[in-house]
Amino acid sequence: MRRFSTVNKAEVSKFTRAARDWWKPESNTGVGLLHQLNPIRVKYIREQAIAHVKKAPIDPQSPWPLKGLRVLDVGCGGGILSEALARIGAQVTGVDPGQANVEAATEHALGDHETAKNRYICSTAEDLVAQNETFDIVCALEVVEHVDNVPSFIQQLTQLLEPNGVLFMSTINRTPASYLTTILAVEHILRLVPPGTHDWNKYIQTHELKGELEKNGMVVHDISGIVGDPFVTGWRLSHDCTGVNYILCATKK
Ligand SMILES: C[S@@+](CC[C@H](N)C(=O)[O-])C[C@H]1O[C@@H](n2cnc3c(N)ncnc32)[C@H](O)[C@@H]1O
């Protein structure tokens, strides 16, 4: 497949505009929701990595289960996920096309010895493919709904994996429920993220994403919904409710 740029400048600028707020969960930029979702995302990555990483057996009791693994965080923003993965042992590279995001991530990571080794680059998956970089784990959380040329983006993520490498993606399903919650309620009524952050037409249904991954030689092991609410119950994983936010794990054959 020809490599297309996946960068939509208008989408990236939605995030660079608020780059100085990546580590201010109380700000009204929407970043608070990502901070809230992060522990459940990391729990998922940890559990699925223990089940599916083949490079070396992972001790489930280890406080650093990702130790020795090269992990790429595509669309890392200010490094919310990257930092959490470094804390469980990963050797993290984060890439983002937004220069201001990369600067925010770098500056924040330097504040703690556990994250100071994180490598952040103003770049994209397609650039890293061109440089023949490969990783044991690739993560693209809450990114695919902001890119152009989704099939090309997915192909590039899979090319960045070592054989048997593990891919994690999270995004939003294109359903009536996701319109009501993530756009009407979250953007327009509760104002938890700025109106216009999401475009419902760019959301991707679970079977569409699974199909695209399978076309690229991936085996999808699990798709779980991330359900709950920011005010009362917090967030949890659900095998049944994938109609709004979901996260998946796939490996390269
Ligand atoms: C909703 S934020 C998610 C940030 C981070 N992944 C997280 O979940 O905490 C989306 C991020 O994707 C980045 N992005 C947008 N288009 C991209 C592309 N084509 N390739 C890589 N990253 C992209 C944006 O700059 C932004 O930082």
Q: pLDDT (tens digit, 9 = 90+) per residue, 163-215? A: 999 999 999 999 999 999 999 998 999 888 899 999 999 999 999 999 999 99
Tokens at residue 209, please? 């994403």
Q: Provide the edge-to-edge strand list for the sheet that holds 119-122.
A: 119-122, 91-96, 70-74, 135-141, 161-172, 245-252, 218-229, 234-238
DSSP helix/strand/coil, 109: helix
Q: Which domains does the chain have, with CATH numbers?
A: 9-252 (3.40.50.150)
Pocket test for ligand 1, best of 96, 120, 235 (most atoms within 8 A of CB): 96
Q: Does residue 89 have its Cβ closer than 6 Å to ligand 1?
A: no
Computed over every residue of the chain, the mean pLDDT equals: 95
Instruction: Please give the Cα distance from 141 to 111 (Å, whole number).
Output: 23
Confidence of residue 10 (pLDDT cuts 50, 70, 90): very high
Question: Is the CB of residue 12 below 6 angstroms from any atom belonging to ligand 1?
Answer: yes
Other beta carbons within 10 angstroms of residue 104's beta carbon come to 24
